[in-house]
């Protein structure tokens, strides 16, 4: 686990920003307003999130619009899949075990 | 928020084994047998406790071996309580799994329903796992996979997908 990602998401305001951006991209002003924090503070949080690859800014007119990068959420689904995979492997292992013991017990 | 993406997650497994139902039941319900097959490759089971009664405990600690590189020595406990015991037919248990040292934040809570049925000389095993909750750090770990866990899981997945070497 990279510390940067932990740091990025371990701060409540930054998690709130992630939650906010899940529905729509927002400019920094709106983000600050929704979270009831000052804009420089919001910018600071967004900088951390951007550096960790969680959000990306796109300049539009005179504003920077922040949106969430989809990839980490896809990774989350994959993480759950890995839980499933462990079970598949575990059941394979059970099959091997049963084959060994059943054959042994049958032979004895 | 992030939990909404996960909500409840249902996993369903179904396998037919060339073994009598008694053998499958023993493999699941006797600690000495359970510990023989529970661990994925590159891990070992260090603790295994099965108190086969409703309210009894099913407790397994899996330890990452030296082969797992930087994860070597990591312990992953699973601590569960039986909620249903139906001799030779099935059982259910509620459990939590976590990374030792991170219990508060890295815990996954899941319910597990095991059903056995005879198919002549074979036994059909169905297992239904419902992930009901996932701790904050486990959520972050899900994010972090892209940067850290991904390579570990890819490697683990590759290892696990290989032929079993038992």
pLDDT value at residue B43: 83
Average pLDDT, chain A: 79
Report whether pLDDT(A6) > 70: no
Arithmetic mean of pLDDT, B120-137: 83
pLDDT value at residue B3: 41
Tens of pLDDT, residue by residue over B144-159, are 433 333 343 344 344 4
State which residue of chain B sits closest to A54, comparing Cα positions: B143
pLDDT value at residue B145: 38
Number of domains in chain B: 1
User: A60 CB near a chain B CB, below 8 Å?
Assistant: no
Arithmetic mean of pLDDT, B131-150: 54
Distance (Å) from the alpha carbon of A62 to chain B's nearest alpha carbon: 30
Q: Are A15 and B2 in contact (CB < 8 Å)? A: yes
Report whether pLDDT(B72) > 90: no
**Residue B166 counted as domain residue:** no
pLDDT value at residue A19: 78
Report whether pLDDT(A39) > 80: yes
**Residue B149 counted as domain residue:** yes
Q: Are A97 and B18 in contact (CB < 8 Å)? A: no
Report whether pLDDT(A85) > 80: no
CA atoms within 13 A on the CB side of A107: 6
Considering only CB atoms, which chain B residues are within 8 Å of A7? none
Interface test with A, best of B32, B37, B64 (most A CBs within 10 A): B37
Residue B101 sits in a domain whose CATH number is: 3.30.530.20
pLDDT value at residue B109: 86
**Residue B35 counted as domain residue:** yes
Domain of residue B28: give its range.
Answer: 2-161
User: A51 CB near a chain B CB, below 8 Å?
Assistant: no
Arithmetic mean of pLDDT, A76-99: 76
Interface test with A, best of B5, B7, B16, B19 (most A CBs within 10 A): B19
Report whether pLDDT(A87) > 50: yes
| Global ipTM | 0.70
* Most confident stretch, A42-51, A81-90, B39-48: A42-51
**Residue B40 counted as domain residue:** yes
Q: Are A96 and B166 in contact (CB < 8 Å)? A: yes
Q: Nearest Cβ partner of B144 from A5, A93, A101?
A: A5
How far, in Å, are A13, A23, A32, A61, B103 from residue A26 at the CA level?
15, 9, 10, 13, 35
How far, in Å, are A23, A43, A56, B114, B150 from residue B111 at the CA level?
31, 42, 38, 10, 26
Calpha distance A72→B31 (Å, rounded):
38
Considering only CB atoms, which chain B residues are within 8 Å of A52? 147
For chain B, the distance separating the N- and C-terminal CA atoms, rounded to the nearest angstrom, is: 42
Arithmetic mean of pLDDT, B109-124: 93
């Amino acid at each position: 686990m990279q510390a940067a990602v932990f740091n990025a998401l371990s701060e409540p305001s930054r998690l709130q920003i992630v939650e906010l951006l899940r529905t729509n991209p927002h400019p920094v002003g709106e983000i600050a307003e929704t979270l009831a924090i000052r804009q420089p503070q919001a910018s600071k949080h967004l900088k951390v999130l951007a550096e960790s690859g969680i959000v990306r800014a796109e300049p539009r007119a005179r504003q920077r619009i922040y949106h969430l990068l989809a990839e980490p959420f896809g990774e989350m689904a994959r993480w759950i899949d890995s839980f499933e995979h462990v079970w598949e492997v575990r059941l394979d292992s059970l099959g091997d075990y049963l084959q060994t013991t059943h054959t042994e017990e049958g032979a004895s | 928020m992030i939990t909404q993406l996960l909500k409840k997650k249902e996993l369903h497994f179904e396998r037919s084994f060339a073994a009598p139902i008694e053998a499958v039941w023993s493999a699941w319900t006797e600690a000495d047998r359970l510990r023989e097959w529970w661990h994925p490759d590159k891990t070992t089971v260090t603790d295994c406790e099965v108190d086969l009664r409703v309210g009894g405990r099913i407790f397994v600690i899996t330890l990452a071996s030296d082969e797992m590189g930087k994860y070597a020595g990591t312990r992953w406990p699973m601590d569960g309580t039986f909620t249903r015991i139906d001799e030779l037919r099935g059982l259910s248990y509620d459990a939590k799994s976590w990374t030792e040292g991170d219990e508060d934040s890295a815990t996954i809570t899941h319910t597990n329903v095991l059903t056995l049925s005879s198919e002549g000389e074979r036994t059909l095993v169905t297992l239904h796992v419902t992930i009901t909750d996932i701790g904050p750090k486990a959520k972050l770990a899900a994010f972090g996979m892209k940067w850290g866990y991904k390579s570990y899981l890819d490697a683990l997945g590759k290892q696990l997908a290989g032929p079993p070497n038992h």
